Amino acid sequence: MATAVKSDIKLEPSPNPFEVAQQQLDEAAELLELDSAIHHLLRWPMRELHVTLPVRMDDGSTKIYHGFRVQYNDARGPTKGGIRFHPDETIDTVRALAAWMTWKTAVVDIPLGGAKGGVICNPKELSDGELERLSRAYIRQVGRILGLKKDIPAPDVYTTPQIMAWMADEYAFMKGHNEFGVITGKPLALGGSAGRGDATARGGLYCLREAGKLLDIKLDGATTAIQGYGNAGSFAHKLGVELLGLTVVAVSDSRGGIYNKGGLEYDAVFAHKQKTGSVVEFPGSEPITNEALLELDVTISIPAALESVITERNANKISAKFLVELANGPTTPEADKILYEAGCYVIPDFLCNAGGVTVSYFEMVQNSYNYYWTEQLVHERLDEKMTSAFHVVHDTAQEHKVHNRLAAYLVAVSKVAEAVKLRGWVS
């Protein structure tokens, strides 16, 4: 077991996420022998909106924020994608996420395209009132391109069901009537779906379960490290123990990480984070950096934070048998090759974390006919979708002798390309 000490690696600038997304697409397009016009079309968003948001602060001043909404491709249906509130948000990050959403909806075969939104802000520094006014301001500007048959937002990094509720209310005010299905990830009282809260982590763990079966690796008691302890990471801890019997030895958040070779108990860690705002200084644990956490000698590594944390710089130091990508874009193309050659089984992001958009789609369906499913039924239908998609990707990887991310691209891009061609967008 690697020691839980601080890494002395000097961090290099992160790769441009949209360039990474384009590079991944290019590799798939070459293998698919994709028509050059379709290839070029799929390399770029079909439309994007940049907005400027004046927000009245609690002290009476007005602060100006900037935001985006990117609708990447709607060949297979209305676009779908979350909204991020993050201080380091960029248009290229949003473009990349919208592209990955396009492939995500295709790989799990739901009739939607891909979109993403974001606002450059630090929600941790905002009061509830300021956060509400910012959320409503964003919808007032972006709402003109949203709609059940256009584009349906959802929560993402640092946005919550409460923020979705404010946005849904603002949209209803703009339209003059309720239209709850236009925003998903809402509270249950406003048409949210049972099972949406843990859907991203649950879907990824369904994939891990299937991977364990295929590789004949026992997951009960398997040591696990989780980078990122937001919605996806914390639920991965909880459900990993409940569903698969994992032993989680390390977790982290934006302030740092904690490590205990004997395992970390979910309820205690979660309560500590709720009380202090971070997992750091959890009693009975050793400190560990986010970088060192990824290099621990564990069976399962779960990046559940942000993009480009696994690169050619550190990929050869990752010893995990499974990389379960709950984050979007955590691994660069150069790192993919290193991990594949080392025998690490990667469950790629836009397959692994597709549980969130799948249950968001279920929420849209329930909103459309105003009848709601039980949590058990949501879990069963999510399991069916994720398990089917996992095996299609795995079989494609075996058939073409490529790593799983490229296989997922082959599956998804071929579906979107077929829709583009059938619609006559490219002759």
Could you tell me if 280 and 377 lie in one domain? yes
Residue 289 lies in a domain: yes
Could you tell me if 390 and 243 lie in one domain? yes
Could you tell me if 330 and 283 lie in one domain? yes
Residues 6+ apart with CB under 8 A from 298: 222, 223, 224, 225, 249, 250, 319, 320
Domain end marker among 136, 170, 189: 189
Residue 53 lies in a domain: no
Give the span between the Cα atoms of 410 and 27, in whole angstroms.
Answer: 9
Could you tell me if 150 and 289 lie in one domain? no
Which pair of tokens denotes residue 316? 């050869």
Could you tell me if 135 and 256 lie in one domain? no
**CB atoms < 10 A from the CB of 102, how many?**
34
Helix (H) or strand (E) holding 63: strand 62-73
DSSP codes, 81-127 = EEEEEETT--HHHHHHHHHHHHHHHHHTT-S-EEEEEEEE--GGGS-
Does this model's pTM top 0.75?
yes
Domain end marker among 147, 166, 189: 189
pLDDT averaged per 10 residues, the chain (length 427): 35 77 96 96 98 98 98 98 96 96 98 98 97 98 96 94 97 94 95 96 98 97 97 97 98 96 97 96 96 96 92 95 95 95 96 96 95 98 98 98 97 98 94
pLDDT at residue 115, as a whole number: 98
pLDDT at residue 4, as a whole number: 37
pLDDT at residue 15, as a whole number: 82
pLDDT at residue 308, as a whole number: 87
Q: Tokens 């990480």 — which residue?
A: 257
CATH of the domain at 249: 3.40.50.720
Could you tell me if 12 and 37 lie in one domain? yes
Could you tell me if 355 and 241 lie in one domain? yes
Residue 332 lies in a domain: yes
Residue 48 lies in a domain: no
Structural domain that includes position 392: 1-16+30-43+193-427
Residue 56 lies in a domain: no
Could you tell me if 38 and 76 lie in one domain? no
Residue 49 lies in a domain: no
Residue 63 lies in a domain: no
Residue 124 lies in a domain: yes
pLDDT at residue 9, as a whole number: 32
C-alpha to C-alpha distances, 94 to 83, 90, 125, 303, 346, nearest whole angstrom: 9, 6, 22, 19, 23
Could you tell me if 141 and 213 lie in one domain? no
415 in active site? no
Q: Is the separation of the CB atoms in 133 and 56 below 8 Å?
A: yes
pLDDT at residue 303, as a whole number: 97
Domain end marker among 119, 154, 189: 189
pLDDT at residue 257, as a whole number: 97
Residues 6+ apart with CB under 8 A from 139: 146, 167, 170, 171, 174
CATH of the domain at 151: 3.40.50.10860
Could you tell me if 107 and 162 lie in one domain? yes
Could you tell me if 9 and 135 lie in one domain? no
Could you tell me if 111 and 168 lie in one domain? yes
Q: Is the separation of the CB atoms in 289 and 7 below 8 Å?
A: yes
pLDDT at residue 13, as a whole number: 61
Annotated catalytic residue within 80, 116, 385, 415: 116
Number of domains composing the chain: 2
C-alpha to C-alpha distances, 343 to 58, 71, 167, 269, nearest whole angstrom: 54, 36, 44, 32
Give the span between the Cα atoms of 243 and 349, in whole angstroms.
Answer: 20
